[in-house]
């Protein structure tokens, strides 16, 4: 058994003990990291016996470099939308829309519960994919309802039965972010709102949607940061997998 709690690579200090403390191992955020740094972190984690390593904000170029540097097969979006198709050792699943990758996926968990992800529009897809893949990797049954924003509210209302069957709902919306309040007024489960940076100038890169969601008059709506599908999925997973007290 490896008793190391951290590993110092000089440019990164890998938290090897995180899963013991929090139930989820360290995730590699790839924004502003060089492709060499990403590959170095991945190699070190694999050498310590870690698997199902999640990479967020991973560019296609860095994904290709990572796969080549460790001799992994790169697969994913071009062949399938479902990460559960892949659990082969030394395979990098990569989704270009969500800029997210999973390396060396090994899964012995039976998916549980129901996390439903609802998006306002097709332009919100990058955040949807980040949330969906993260939620599935963490062992959750996941349903996605796309393009049901308030400009055509009948589209959302036609999905009311699916919404009411969810244990937790992630609502992803840009522009004015009104969808989170509407969903919050229809269901009794927790709603996690994700503002996106989709919109014209006065949306201020998602700040307008963020403020709208924070000011929601619907009870039971909580908000994460702009474009943070990963953070919403982790929170939703913890809610979805909570056990009722005996």
Instruction: Tell me the three state secondary structure of residue 221.
Output: strand
**Of 75, 103, 131, at which residue does a domain stop?**
103
**Nearest CA among 176, 230, 214 for reference residue 198:** 176
* 245 assigned to some structural domain: no
Range of the domain at 88: 6-103
| Per-residue tokens: 186 | 């229809």
Residue 144 shares a structural domain with residue 72:
no
| Per-residue tokens: 35 | 């492709």
The answer on pLDDT for 35 being more than 50 is: yes
Instruction: Tell me the three state secondary structure of residue 95.
Output: strand
**Of 76, 103, 130, at which residue does a domain stop?**
103
pTM for this structure?
Answer: 0.88
Residue 116 shares a structural domain with residue 236:
yes
Residue 197 shares a structural domain with residue 223:
yes
* 234 assigned to some structural domain: yes
**Per-residue model confidence as pLDDT tens digits over 103-160:** 888 776 788 899 999 999 999 999 999 999 999 999 999 999 999 999 999 999 999 9
User: What residues are paired with 181 via a beta bridge?
Assistant: none
Residue 194 shares a structural domain with residue 80:
no
**Of 103, 126, 150, at which residue does a domain stop?**
103
Residue 99 shares a structural domain with residue 117:
no
Instruction: Domain count for the chain, please give it.
Output: 2
């Amino acid at each position: 058994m490896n008793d190391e709690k951290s590993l110092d690579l000089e440019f990164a200090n890998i938290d090897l003990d995180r899963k013991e403390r929090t139930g989820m191992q360290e995730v590699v955020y790839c924004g502003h990291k060089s492709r060499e740094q990403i590959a170095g972190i991945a190699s070190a984690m694999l050498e310590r016996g870690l698997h199902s390593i999640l990479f967020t904000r991973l560019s296609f170029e860095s994904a290709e470099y990572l796969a080549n540097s460790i001799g992994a097969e790169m697969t994913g979006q071009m062949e399938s939308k479902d990460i559960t198709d892949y659990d082969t050792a030394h395979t990098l699943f990569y989704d270009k829309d969500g800029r997210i990758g999973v390396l060396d996926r090994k899964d012995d968990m039976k998916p549980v519960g129901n996390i439903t992800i609802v998006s306002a529009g097709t332009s919100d897809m990058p955040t949807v994919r980040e949330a969906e893949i993260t939620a599935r990797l963490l062992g959750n049954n996941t349903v996605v309802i796309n393009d049901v924003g308030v400009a055509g509210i009948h589209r959302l209302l036609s999905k009311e039965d699916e919404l009411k069957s969810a244990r937790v709902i992630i609502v992803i919306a840009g522009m004015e972010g009104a969808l989170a309040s509407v969903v919050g007024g229809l269901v009794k489960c927790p709603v996690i709102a994700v503002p996106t940076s989709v919109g014209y100038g006065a949306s201020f890169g998602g700040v307008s949607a963020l403020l709208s969601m924070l000011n929601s008059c619907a009870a039971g709506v909580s908000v994460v940061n702009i474009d943070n599908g990963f953070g919403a999925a982790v929170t939703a997973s913890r809610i979805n997998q909570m056990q009722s007290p005996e």
